[in-house]
Every structure is written in C-alpha cells, then in structure tokens.
Amino acid sequence: MAEEEITTIGVCGKDDYQEQGSLRSLLASEGRDYLVRNDDEKVKITELKGKTVGLYFSALWCGACRRFTPILVEAYTELLSMESNFEIVFVSADEDEEEFAEYFTKMPWLAIPFFEEKKRGWLSKEYDVQGIPTLVILDENGDFLSDDAARAVRDYGAEGFPFTAEKIEKLEEEKEAARLNQSISSLLVTKSREFLVTSNFKRVPVSELEGKIVGLYFTLSSFEACAGFTRRLVNVYNDLKGRGENFEIVLVSLEEDESSFMDDFEDMPWLGIPFRDKLCEKLVQYFELADLPTLVIIGANGKTVNANAAELVEDYGVEAYPFNSKKVKELRKKEKAWIESQTLESLLISGDKDYIIKNDNTKVPVVDLVGKNILLFFSAHWCPPCRVFSPRLIEIYNQIKERDGAFEVILVSSDEDEESFSEYFSQMPWLAIPFRDDRSRFINRVFKITGIPSCVAISPEGKTVTKEARNLIMEHGADAYPFTEEQIRKLKTEMEEKAKLWPEKIRHNSHSHVLSKHRRMYICDGCRKTGKDWSFYCKLCDFDLHPHCALDDGHEVVDSEDDDDEEEEWPEKIKHMLHKHVLVKAWRHYECDACGVVKHGWSYFCEECDFDLHPDCAFGKESMVKLYEESDDSEEDEEDDEDNDDSETSKDEENVYYNKNEGIEVEHESPDSSHLKKALELEDEEEEEAEDNSKRIIGDENVDNEDEDNKNEEDLEEDDEQEDGDDGPEMKGYVCNTRERDGLEAFQESIFTCKLPE
C-alpha cells in the first residue's frame, strides 16, 4: 500500500455530505456555465452529463500534489483510452493566477477558472477538504461517492475506477484471493503480455518458468547498495546455473529513465520485465516493498518462500540456496556451531591462504599467531574517523607490546584501491590481511561489521572476546587490555572507588570558573584526549578536565556554600560593539564570531544574523559591551531602517522572542580595530578550512529548512557538496561537543563511524 502524502489546509466544512443535485448547480456560477482547458478552451458544464466526475483539489505550492499529479494524469489517460465516462475538474488552491496557469499546463482535464475564488472556496467547504491532494468522486447526477479517491489512484491506478469504497474493497478481496492462488503466471503475466525479455530483448514465455525457483529482483541503479549487490548476485546466479540448479531471476526495474534501465540490464544474465511495464509498480504494492535491493523468492509451486533473500545472498552466497526457511534454520545452526568452535585458524586461513603480511609484504604464517591476544582492526584510508583513530591505536599498541609481547593487531582493510591500502598500512607497526583478499569479506560478515573504525578482540584460544574493543580503548586506553569483561569490571570498580574520594567541585589554575564533577563524553581541555566517564566540567564554558589533569598541583577544593553561581550573574541580553543587534543568552552549539572557537554551551546570540559571542569574548572588554535596556529596541529599529529598508524586525517582534530584562547602561567607546580585524581573519580562515576539510561533518540527520537565512543555506549547500563528492562514504554520529578544529577531529575517534559500502 503506497504511503499517502497530504498537505493540511485550514478549511472546515459540513460534517455530512448531502445530495448535491446536478453538476451544473455545483460547478456553475452566476454568469458562467462553463469550465476551461489549459489552452483556454471553454467547455460547457452540460457536456459532463452522464459522466463520473472527480473534483481534484490541488496546488502547485504543495509538494505532495506535484508528486501525485503525474500519477493521476497516467490513470486519467488510460481511462480515456478505455472510453470510460470519466472527467476531472481541477479546483485550485493556488495563491496567484501565474502559479495556477503554470500548474494547469500539466493537466489534460478541465478546471474551474482561477477568478472564481468564491466557487473554489465553496467547494472546499462543501466537501470538507482538510488537506491536499484530495480527489472527490461524484456520480453522473453530482451525488457524492468518495473523498478517498487519491489513495485509490495511488494504489490501483485506472484499475481502481470509479475509486469508490466498494470498488477498493472488491480489489482488496481479489488481491487476497490472488495471494492464496498465487502462481508464477498470476504474478508475471498481464492481459497484454505473456513474456519476459533477455538483455538483448529476446522474448521468453513466462510459462518456461513454471516449476522453477524464481527470484524477483527489485532494484534501482542509482542506489549504491543495489549496484554492489547486483555484482554479488550475478556471481551467485552463474554458480547456481553452473551447478544445473532449476533457478531463474527476473529483473523488476524501478528505473524511470530508459537509458539507465538499458545500462543496468545489459550486465545481467537473467530475464526481466520490459521497461516501464505497469506490472513493476503492481508488484511493488503486492509485495509491500520496503527496501532496496529486494530479492523475493518464489518456490517451484509459485508460492512466496522468502520476502527478501538479499541478506542471505550477501552473507552466504550459493550456500543459501534455495533460500527457504528450512535452509535459513540450517545456516543459523551451522553458524552457531562454527562460532562455538571458532579458532584463529578458522578465521584467518582459507585454502592455501594461510598467512598474513607485514607492511613490507613479508608473509607471516597464521600458525605463528596462535596463542596470542589478537585485535582485528577494521579500517580504511578513505574513512576520516579511521585516520584519526589510527595514531591513537598505534600509541596503545606500543604500550601493550611493552607489557605483553603475545599481542598483535591485524588490519582488515576496506580500501578500494591498492595504493590507498599500501599508503595507509605503511604507517602501521602491525600486520594485515592482503589487499582485496576474500578473507576480509568473510571476516566482515562473521562479525557483521557495518561501520568503521571497529575493533574485535580475539582470545589466545581463538574465541571472540568483544566486538566493542574500540570503545574500550577510547575509554580506558592500554589498561583495557586484554579487553575481557573481568578486566573492564575491575577498571570500573577501581574508578568508582577513586571517584568517591574526589571532591565534588574544584577551582583550577587553567580555568576561571568552578569545575564540577560529572559523568560525560568529552575532550579534555588539558591533555586534549577524549574521555567517556568522569570529568571536572564547567557548564558555562563547556570546559572539561580529565580527573588526572584536574587533580594536579594546580587545583583547590571548593565548598558548596562558597560556590558562586556565575551563570546567574550573566545578563539575559546585552548590546555589543561587534554587532548591531541585541544579543540574547542562549544554550546552543555554535562557533564564536569573535575568536572562531567551536563550542557547545552558553552564547550571546542574534537569531536574525546567526551571530554568536562566547561569554569570555562578550565580557572580555567592558568598553565594548553594555547591558540591554528596553529603550534599545527603538534605537535598534531606527538603525535597521537606515541600514536596510527591507528589514522586518520590529520592537514588538523582538519583545515576543526575548525575555524582558532590566539593565543599566555602561559608557562605551569605539571598538578595538585590531580585535575586529582578528575576528574577521579568523572567520575567513575557518571558512577556507571548512571548504577543504571533509571531516567537518556534524550529525547525520537530513536538514531541509526553507526558512534558514542565506548564510545557513550556503553552508548547507557546501555540506551537501561534500556529502555528494568523493570525500568518502556516509558518516554517522551526532553534534560534536568540541572547542576547536583539532578537538573536532579528536572527538570523531569516539563518536563517528563510516558506513561501509554495500
């Protein structure tokens, strides 16, 4: 069932529909007894006599409408070719005639003229249209039949005509009956076609598939996952055909461009449904497609045995055939037994490949590693977080090797070219599986690695200790070795005992404010290393110190009653010489426009200009700041009127957004020009660095906000270009709690991963 898109509009109307009388009384108005076509032809309303009519409530500004209209056009055109007595009347919700005219050019049906605003509004109220697109169906007498026709058109196209609840119920019953009586012919044969095609367009009767196991392969070449899976599926298909298995695949392409369809299909050795065959969309609905790629397996009896075998093919290849539930249980049981009997040799030896390599290509027999603690390091040169994490791992590796020579790291690379692999591996003191070795894919599958960097610890007996060794290294460093649960419990117990003895609050000579003991993820502002447990933290400045940095000779304990609440002393609003608008105290993630530091904490912020000042910069020089007064609103409006006639900011609007605050005025002088120059230079440097630094990715959520100001739109465009470029695959994470560029990179060690290509 297709997901319905509706744009809500604020129209209310009657609760119940009444008999409407004639179509003329519904659609005509005083002095007008006609409708119009997009070529300005006038059509008498009386010509609709005897026809079923759809009132199409829609608008150009509505994205859901723009996506639905082509679907409706296709169904309408098909119904015309079938000589159905059906007509559509466009009832526009556009806001100006230019938009109406532009949108109407795409419609082959009739419309109520745009100047009939009252009639269009009356119809919306009469049929209680709450959202668009809406398609209301009226019978030949103008009586109401359905207001859910848009959904019916999406799900069934012209087949759903006349789009009433009774018709849809009948189609649903037929669909359920088709499921019960499903066969390969009922799935793939249509009224106009009883054949499939090869990549060279030779026709093959569907009947030749009777009695075979058939995979219906739903794909779209623009999906990277589909491109990678297709290559894997071709190998599996050829292996199965080579074994003489009674197996076939049918391409169900979702391409909209014929050249893309041709390019994709020419490399496939199996059959396919012809391009733009409507059966493809019906099969998408029938199998309730939710993901791509999807490989639906149809058994020899024509029944569905697996709704999506793509993961089985990816994980097990030909071993998964015939992809039914019995085979899945068998594979799971076999996999469980394999894990229980896992050894280092079973992981790293495949046929005559019984060795790994050093970075000078010297071969090291796997048997020489048996009995050691092994760390499998999943990484790649193209992955920025991997490149950041690697130096940290080298440091930990050397520390552990000094304590225990029976430890080794093995690189399992996901690099796509040998040059990158060699360059990356040359910096590492440990071993690696050779480039493009099948064992890398096997080990990735065994441990279900989907993101890098990742570390898996293997015991001297060859058993898996943990798949979370990367996080343990970041939290505990070399002390996490040998990464066992017992060792981690010991470290946490020791940490808790130490923490009980630490003061709740301290002052440190590296920071001006009180630091409180907190549990959090952070970067130490002393040693610049990441931390994931206790910190001595200043919320006002987003300042952190590791306990071992905080509790050195530079600290003093602070009693709770002596703790001054600096946050309360800061005013809610200020005026600053670096910016013309009022700045409001706000807790947010930002980059200070004075010093260029990236922070998460208190800022003095102008929403209109996206301008931020860190409190240290805001109050660093008293001559540049004054506290906000209500009278400043009117002064600011006058300045805005002089600087920009288009400004929409008003005193009332500001008072709605800002909290009222009483303040006192401080005399001030002209700003320090050198300070301004430094701020501008830092801003320029940061912008240039952002363009060149693909690692500056904050979060993984999609941003689409048309109300952002021009500055933010430009920033988003730059981010999109980076994501769409050649800077590496998708990165997952969340907003970085960092203070500087190097801090951002360091923080990626613990929160970012790169999604592996399919």
Query: What whole-number distance in Å separates Cα of residue 405 and Cα of residue 665?
Result: 69
Task: Write down the residue that tokens 């207001």 correspond to.
Answer: 147
Q: Which of 378, 527, 363 is nearest to 440 (CA)?
A: 378
pLDDT at residue 754 in the model: 66
Measure the CA–CA gap between 1 and 286, rounded to whole angstroms.
8
pLDDT band of 184, cuts 50, 70, 90: very high
Structure tokens at 63: 């994205």
Average pLDDT over residues 138-167: 89
SS3 285: helix
In CATH terms, is domain 7-171 a member of 3.40.30.10? yes
Which position has the higher pLDDT, 426 or 635?
Answer: 426
Q: Which of the pair, 83 or 48, is modelled with greater confidence?
A: 48
Cβ atoms of 279 and 306 within 8 Å: the answer is: no
Which of 250-254, 305-309, 541-545, 635-639 is predicted least confidently? 635-639
Strand partners, 407: 373
- What's residue 1's pLDDT? 45
Task: Using a pLDDT cut of 90, give the percent of the chain over it.
Answer: 44
Record: fold of 182-321:
Glutaredoxin (3.40.30)
Q: Is residue 595 within 8 Å of 651, Cβ to Cβ?
A: no
Band of the pLDDT at 647, cuts 50, 70, 90?
very low
- State the DSSP code for 252: E
Q: Is the pLDDT of residue 691 over 50?
A: no
> pLDDT of 693-751, one tens digit each?
333 322 333 334 444 444 444 444 444 444 444 444 333 332 222 233 344 444 444 44
Per the document, the length of the chain is 758
- Specify whether the backbone of 483 is left (phi greater than 0), alpha (psi in -120 to 50) or beta: left
Closest CA to 658 of 605, 707, 705, 580: 605
DSSP line for 45-107: GGGGTT-EEEEEEE-TT-HHHHHHHHHHHHHHHHHHHTT-SEEEEEEE--SSHHHHHHHHTT-
Query: What number is the average pLDDT over the span 61-89?
Result: 91
pLDDT of amino acid 696:
30
Query: Of all residues in the chain, what percent are helix, strand and coil, respectively (each to 5)?
Result: 40, 20, 40
Predicted local confidence at residue 462, as pLDDT: 94
- Tell me how far apart the alpha carbons of residues 731 and 754 are, in angstroms, rounded to a whole number: 4
Most confident of 5-19, 59-73, 528-542: 59-73
Its sign, for the CA torsion 390, 392, 398, 403, is negative
Residues 6+ apart with CB under 8 A from 136: 54, 55, 57, 127, 129, 144, 146, 147, 149
- Give the residue, 363 or 645, on which the prediction is more confident: 363
Both tokens of 400, joined, read 């552990």
* Tokens read off for 689: 């660095």
Query: Which long-range contacts does 241-247 make (Cβ < 8 Å, 24+ apart)?
Result: 241/269, 243/318, 245/213, 245/321, 246/211, 246/212, 246/213, 246/300, 247/212, 247/213, 247/214, 247/215, 247/321, 247/322
Q: Which residues are CB-contacts of 254 (< 8 A; sequence separation ≥ 6)? A: 218, 219, 220, 280, 284, 292
Mind listing the pLDDT tens digit for each residue in 386-412?
A: 998 999 999 999 999 999 999 999 999
Distance CA 132, CA 658 (A): 36
* Helices 63-81 and 149-156: angle between axes, nearest 10 degrees: 70
Q: Which whole number is the average pLDDT over 572-579?
A: 85
For the chain, the average pLDDT equals 80
- SS3 assignment, position 164: coil
Lowest mean pLDDT among 243-247, 591-595, 598-602: 598-602
Phi/psi of residue 93, each to 5°?
-110, 20
H-assigned helices in 325-462:
325-340, 344-348, 384-403, 418-425, 438-446
Both tokens of residue 47? 């010509």
- In angstroms, how far is CA 696 from the centroid of its own chain? 17
CATH number listed for the domain at residues 344-492: 3.40.30.10
CA 460 – CA 720 distance, rounded (Å): 46
501 against 533, higher pLDDT: 501
419 DSSP β-pair partners = none
* More confident of the two residues 11 and 112: 112
The predicted pLDDT at position 617 comes to: 81
Average pLDDT over residues 471-476: 87
Please report the beta strands in 97-212, taking only residues with DSSP state E, as ranges in sequence order: 110-111, 131-132, 134-138, 144-146, 195-197, 203-205
**589 vs 738: CA distance, rounded Å:** 9
Mean pLDDT of 425-452: 91
Cα gap 183→185, rounded to integer Å: 5
Please determine, for residue 165, whether its predicted confidence score (pLDDT) is greater than 50.
yes
Q: What is the CA radius of gyration of the chain?
A: 34
Return the minimum-mean-pLDDT range out of 83-92, 296-305, 526-535: 526-535
Burial of 483 (0-12, 13-18, 19+ CB in 10 A): buried
- pLDDT interval class at 154 (50, 70, 90): confident
Instruction: Give me the helices (H) in 189-276, please.
Output: 224-242, 258-265
Cα distances (Å, whole numbers) of residue 559 to 304, 503, 562, 569: 71, 9, 5, 19
Per-residue confidence (pLDDT) for residue 745, from 0 to 100: 44
Please give the pLDDT value at position 120.
92
Exposed / middle / buried, residue 374 (Cβ in 10 Å: 0-12, 13-18, 19+): buried
For the ranges 115-124, 349-358, 379-388, 666-675, the lowest mean pLDDT is seen at 666-675
From the list 685, 690, 745, the residue with the least C-alpha distance to 714 is 690
Q: What is the pLDDT of residue 625?
A: 59
Distance CA 672, CA 621 (A): 9
Distance CA 535, CA 529 (A): 12
Is the separation of the CB atoms in 556 and 505 below 8 Å?
no
Distances (CA, A) of 183 to 186, 281, 322, 656: 5, 18, 18, 65
pTM, whole model, 2 decimals? 0.52
Residue range(s) occupied by CATH 3.40.30.10 in the chain: 7-171, 182-321, 344-492
- Residue 514, CA distances (Å) to 100, 119, 566, 613 in order: 63, 68, 9, 21
Please determine, for residue 425, whether its predicted confidence score (pLDDT) is greater than 80.
yes
d(CA 142, CA 393): 75
- Judged against a pLDDT cut of 70, whether residue 560 lies above it is answered with no
Please give the Cα distance from 513 to 503 (Å, whole number): 15
Query: Binning pLDDT at 50, 70 and 90, where does residue 623 land?
Result: low
More confident: 638 or 734: 638
